[in-house]
Structure 1
Amino acid sequence: MPRALKPCSTPGCPELVRTGRCSTCTGQAEQQRGTAAQRGYGARHRRRFRTRVLQRNPLCVCVDTSHDHGTQCLRPSTVADHHPRSRRELEAAGLDPNDPAYGRGLCKGCHDRHTAAAQPGGWNQAR
């Protein structure tokens, strides 16, 4: 059964959508966000941080009791996550956010759950 239409989640936008934002507000938010390279996730990040973190942690290191197979996820890691500090916190402290020592390997599901809990307002809320 399709979801009922509701107003776009952007305050003040009257556009009706099934979920989240309308296409106009989504496009504006993406433009404001910038490209991955503009946010610091360019070639240097992939080469130095992501590759080394995923080599060190080929299996997801998330400790999550919601998984059927115990306390550690153990799915293949596909995301290099900054942990325990975020990329923004590392930059603010004058540390190198591309240093693999500040990362851990996670599967996409665990990374998405962690990000949703750590950044409850979404990426734009923290700015």
Structure 2
Amino acid sequence: MPRRGGYRVCTVPGCPEYTQGGGRCEHHRREAEQRRGTARQRGYGRQHETRFRPAVLARDPRCVCTDEQHDHGQPCGQPSVHADHWPLSRRELVARGLDPDDPKRGRGLCGPCHSSSTAREQPGGWNR
């Protein structure tokens, strides 16, 4: 990937624009965000905010992730900041007719564990 003093070429094939530190250029970043939609458009409404997220984070105040990156399968133990749908994703729960806002279908994760989990498990995840 061509570099120019801390800058890298946009990761969208064929785009010649440079970005600071890598990733997409500003134009392609905006395009991706528009396609992604708002949290409400993706299904994260009032029930998620008032029922799912607070209950999951109250139950799991510390990250419960036991991914292979942690020693001996122990949770990392960092403060939870994300209420993650698990073991099924929100999309899978909705497709099966299950309540995606039921707190028993979630787990509390810290930021790094949530990013890592999302990258591995979601469609288009960047670690695939």
With normalisation by structure 1, the TM-score equals 0.82
Question: Deviations 1:45-96 (Å, cap 9, x if unpaired)?
Answer: 1111101111111111111454479722111111100000001111111111
| Structure 1 range deviating more: 97-106 or 111-120 | 111-120
Written as runs of structure 1 = structure 2, the 5 A alignment for 1:55-94 is 55-64=58-67, 66-67=69-70, 71-94=74-97
Provide the aligned length of Structure 1 versus Structure 2: 122
Name the % identity. 57
With normalisation by structure 2, the TM-score equals 0.82
Q: Which runs of 4+ in 1 moved over 4 A?
A: 67-70
Who is 1:105 aligned against?
108
How far apart, in 1, do the equivalents of 2:112 and 2:94 lie? 26
Where does the alignment leave 5 or more consecutive residues of structure 1 unmatched? none
Kindly tell me: are residues 120 and 42 of structure 1, through their superposed partners in 2, closer, same or farther at Cα, counting changes over 3 Å? Answer: closer
Kindly tell me: are residues 69 and 108 of structure 1, through their superposed partners in 2, closer, same or farther at Cα, counting changes over 3 Å? Answer: farther
Where does the alignment leave 5 or more consecutive residues of structure 2 unmatched? none
How far apart, in 2, do the equivalents of 1:33 and 1:114 lie? 19
